[in-house]
Amino acid sequence: MWVPGAEGRQALAVAMAAAATLAVAMAARRWRRRPVREVLFFPSPPSCTEALLAEAAGTGAPAQPCPCPLPSSDCPLSRLLRRLLSARRSLDICLFAFSCPQLGLAVRLLHRRGVRVRVVTDAQYMGLRGSQIGLLRQAGIQVRHDQGQGYMHHKFAIVDRRMLITGSLNWTTQAIQSNRENVLVVEDAEYAKLYLDEFERIWEEYNPTNYKFVSQGQ
């Protein structure tokens, strides 16, 4: 058996100190806040989001609880709202259909809070009854749309250029309350960049200066 002398012990101490430093660094890396990874499945049961939105508006909890009979429990819609309301700097939305009032309110709240909100949507759907697009524009939010060749059928959003929210869900009450839908939430630099690049391509292509006003028959 090899028994180290004084020098051997000194060398081993050096090696052990290095190993300890490495172990601490690896543990710190492991315990860093875990990136968001979540999947939301719909339909979401009808629920009251008044308290959640009041809190986000900075008006504090309402003095009286909402008198509506709906529960304000945790559900896929409230989770989606929380993810969106976590935005601090930017929210880029690329959405075929947007008519859900609660999600519309959340987006306008973020705009009022100074978050840079941009919305891309589908030209054919945005004028339908119940669409939130008019309200977003009235609030001063920039919205751009396609020019009608095929559908702008994406359903994704990117929060603070780092968290991707994507799936099958259009932001409509019908889809949220009645359909089988999925939304994948992932805080991942690689995926966020790919979707942001797509957003920027579409944003530029749908720049109003590129619109062609061609009358029918031409």
Q: Which stretch binds a copy of itself (CB under 8 A): 67-75, 103-111, 183-191, 210-218?
A: 183-191
Our finding on whether 11 is near a copy of itself (CB under 8 A) is yes
CB of 29 to a copy of itself, least distance (A): 13
String marking each residue 22-61 x if it binds a copy of itself according to CB under 8 A: ---------------x-x-x-x------------------
Nearest to 145, CA basis, from 70, 79, 93: 93
Our finding on whether 187 is near a copy of itself (CB under 8 A) is no
Q: Give the angle 159-160-165 at the CA atoms, nearest 5°.
A: 20
Sheet holding 155-159, edge to edge: 142-145, 116-121, 90-95, 155-159, 163-167
113 alpha carbon, distance to own chain's centre: 16
The HSE-up count of residue 195 (CA atoms within 13 Å, CB side) is 28
- Residue of 146, 155, 188, 212 marked catalytic: 155
Residue choice 2, 34, 59, 212 for contact with a copy of itself (CB under 8 A)? 2
* Residue nearer to a copy of itself on the CB measure, 5 or 69: 5
